[in-house]
Structure 1
Amino acid sequence: MSALKKILLGEQGLLVIFALAFVIVSLTVPNFLTERNVLGLLQSVVTIGIVACTMMFCLASRDFDLSVGSIVAFSGMVAVMASNASGSILIGVAAAILCGFAVGAVNGVVIARFRINALITTLATMQIVRGLALIASDGRAVGINDPAFYQLALSRFLTIPTPIWVMALFFIVFGFLLNRTVFGKNTLAIGGNPEASRLAGVNVVRMRIWIFALQGLVCSVAGVLLASRITSGQPNAATGLELSVISACVLGGVSLAGGRATMTGVFIGVMIMGIAENVMNLLNIQAFYQYLVRGLILLIAVLLDNLRMSAAGRQK
């Protein structure tokens, strides 16, 4: 029994649980394995998946970022409004990425240099940035003037929608960054023990600023793709995204206490979140119940994190 528990709480256990869930759903839910549904499933998790790539770094370094949903919405608004004003999609996308990076960098500076709690800082930023999006649009959706903007989300490569390729690229790039670079090793070291990392020569302040700046940049990319997919800039878009992303990361084995993260686990966590919602849609379950399921998934994720920490403590 202890061996089974060890497997289930490890990275292999997450893969086993995902594989079993996938097989059960494939056999019991009609139309789940059709090409149209699988591509739709992957497209539905693009925003969560892209943002989770850098949320993983935030959590692994003992931080939180609750402003991601607001940055996604604000970046999408900036991209549409700048594109409409300039007549250039490239300028719109560049403006959105610059704004997202700037918001993330401000988060990082306030948290790392002024030592304000990350939870409070990003909670404040979440409200401020969402407010800016609402003020800029007067609380209304902003339509896209250039139909070419839609192609950012509608275009395909090898029959697969471009946003899915973007998400896959982000998983590969940030997986490499986590596992094969000094940046990734320092992130995990800071999460494990910030003071020991500082004494070992790691510039903890600069690292944390860069992590939040990257978080903002990645959110801006997700915001541009989301605006293209929903064919407008929506100031209320991505509401509640932060909780879904954190749930996916923790479900994927990223420790809330910091110091532990794997990109494979995050990918599986994202897919579990997506499959749960996709199955409910296929079974015509009311949207009200989806809030219940997302809440249960978050609770399960935190419970698994506590069990993993307890098991790791016993092993030490």
Structure 2
Amino acid sequence: MKASLYCVATPIGNLADLTERAIKTLTMVDKIYAEDTRVSLRLLTHLGLQKPLVSLHDHNETARVAQVLTDLEQGLNLALVSDAGTPLISDPGYHLVKDVAAAGFRIIPIPGACAVVAALSAAGLATDRFIFEGFLSAKSAGRRASFTALKTEERTLIFYESSHRIAGFLEDLITVLGAERELVIARELTKLYESFYRGTAEALLARLQGDSDMQKGEFVVLVKGANAILEQASVEVEAATVLQILLEEELSVNQAAKIAARITGQAKNKLYRQAMELSQLRC
């Protein structure tokens, strides 16, 4: 049989979450491609394993593809792991997996821990339909633009966020989606200080601002979907908000109108005139 690439899920905190199958796979493979070799070395040391480790991250993934294909052609079985959780879920590996599949090699998932699924399973929000958005922009304007595009989305929304941006994330969410939108914040999943916080966006922001411990760690933020499609008047306000954000990012009037049309579904010509008016007001 041809050699294979195994996408191995690793723990997101609690080492006991590593599956028996994942351990057997890591024991069997000839080489491991890891997002951060230092992190993966600690896991291998915990398991008593010694394996060749090669870095594969956002900055070198494209360059690593040829090396991986060569390894597979030589009959080596390989594992792909991220620092925590399931590979490719807000982690590198998409380009590699796509090219390995195109080359005809078998790709075998070894399922396990995944923060988005773990958070959703315990949140108490609708689970039948949901959207995973991962990490939004580090900039406030970019986050607000993303929230605006999702304002009428009726499915549960799921985001990842870091400790140094969580307060700004909630502030921008309130600005666009409203203070009363229902949220669940999952912090430090599977770790010693795992916590779930439930309430309105406004209440959770106030709680976070008053509790320094709540601002520490890694976060999954789950947002209840919109109750119904907004009325036309609200859509007009949404379009103005999108245009304002895009113009603040110093896009041209034409670029702002084009992007706003894609987000809101409104006519570009109409949005162009509106952007011109907003641009003149800013002068």
Aligning the two structures, in what range does the TM-score lie when normalised by the shorter sequence? under 0.3
Tell me which structure has the larger Cα radius of gyration: 2
RCO (CA 8 Å, sep 6+): is it higher in 1 or 2? 1
What TM-score results when the alignment is normalised by the length of structure 1?
A: 0.22
Instruction: Identify the structure with the greater strand proportion.
Output: 2
